Structure 1
Amino acid sequence: MSQPITSPESNKVLRAAIWVAIGALIAAAIVCVVWVIIGDSDGIVGKAFLTILLLAGFAGVSIMEANLAARRPAWLTLASVVSWVLLLLIGAFLIWMPTGEWYYGGDRVFKFILIGLIIQGALLHARLYLKSFLRHQTTFTTIVTYVTIGLVVILAAMLVLPIMTEEFVDYRPLYWRVVVALAILAAVGTALVPLVNALFAPKKPRPVARPTAYAASAPVLQWPTYADGVTPLPVLPDGTPDWNAYYTGQPTYPQSPARVVPAPTAAPAAPGAPTPSEPAPHAQPGYQGFPPPPPLPPQQG
């Protein structure tokens, strides 16, 4: 059902649908010409104008269907073309059939619009219903789907026929009882497949929001230390490190207990890692980006 139109089988279906549309257009034109020649002359100008509009509209719709075929499954393209062919034939029938005493051209235009809504509504129902069916296919939903689509097609036909022929045919109450019964069955079948999907179809996994890694990727700045790489520098009154103490070895200002920066707690050493008392080989003491440690005084030989 969901086979793309680009497949060879679908291309054949598309070509067949286009030829059906062309043949229907030619046949409708020929029939209308015959009616013009052998029919009565009552309102022939208006009927001819409506026929031209009908044929031009059908040609435009056929071109639109051919352009949309690449984005549709094959069955939908064929069904859509067939629906427009039916509307073309029904429109020609409504235009050229003799008008009864109480019926006028405006009434038939309204009937044509109503018939078009019924046919296209049935096609839209089939399209949405099959989309719901393809989500979760079982034996039960397959049977219900095909039976429901058949009921909808029969219901649409039984609604269209009285609209077309009510001027000539008197439909008994039993006919409308059957129509109501079909409508109820079609409504129940339409509700069954979405209900089964809601209860038993596998749910689509929801995407899990991943936490942003901004904090983890941001550089961590540590408080600068003396040249030993362990003892933190004193704190100035403005809260910045006392870089002068880095060279002198003594705080520039007396330090209160609240300003003393505690030494960082060493994490548990991994197996084979050097202990805090043993500096790592090739370790660079000091604080990156700040002055290097002061040079040693000259040694007396």
Structure 2
Amino acid sequence: MARAVQFDHYGPADVLHVVDVPTPVPDAREVVVEVRAAGINPGEIGIRSGAMHDTWPATFPSGQGSDLAGVVVAVAPDVSEFAVGDEVLGYSWRRSSHASHVAVPVDQIVRKPSSVPWEVAGALYVVGVTAYAAVRAIDPSPGETVAVSAAAGGVGTVVVQLLRARGARVLGIASPANDEWLTTHGATPVHYGDGLRDRLAAEAPDAFIDLFSPDYVRLALDLGIPADRINTAVSYQMKEDLGVKTEDSLDASTPEVLDELAGLVADGTLEIPIPATYPLEKVVDAFTELERRHTRGKIVLIP
């Protein structure tokens, strides 16, 4: 038997529980991964609470989780790309990675570089590909100035580093508590709150990446930034209403992008902060911490 996080109805974090389930068997073009680490994400809160029911309804009992890293323990007969014992990282779109074992298609995993720790590998997918898509959407040139809301969050920390790797000047919108991290990673801290518009206007950003709310999209337009140089990964209605871009993880979920990101972590270009890890049985505590909304980087479950 395997172990998996499930919930039987919508609600707060305490509806989550760990149950014994049959160990998955790989279907065609699948492998089974023994999970060593699985990141948690704010989107999973929206699904579990029912806030995203109209877009992503749950079927009960529901599992959860997309990020994963682990060791291949079984392969389908038609799989030649991977073998038992391979260390991999990737993602599941079946809400199933918060578990001890998960079956995944071979085009949703890549080999884990040996130098990348398990907890980092298991936290890479959502933040990595979301950040990759956002940066690609605004396509910054070296020397351009890009403002980023929620710059010290899970996706934001990756966006900041990818922008700096492309030679952009980064204005990281965050609280004063994040000044040191942003400065150390080459960004200029800009504090949110009263006077933010004036502080940003003084820096004349050429582009804007919003990772927090539609208010930042409106602010970016008010600053005179063209709509095609604004990308929001959270306020999707803004594409229809205001013509801004809304590229996110769905636009960059390919093995090629994931492999590139893993390589950037391995060579030291990209850092994924891991402020805390929790055993699978402490999943309620993990999400309670995440919901405080003060996490820099990713919280990770260790089955």
Same fold by TM-score greater than 0.5: no
More relative contact order, 1 or 2 (CA 8 Å, 6+ apart): 2
Which structure's residues are more often helix, by fraction?
1
Which structure's residues are more often strand, by fraction?
2
Shorter-chain TM band: under 0.3
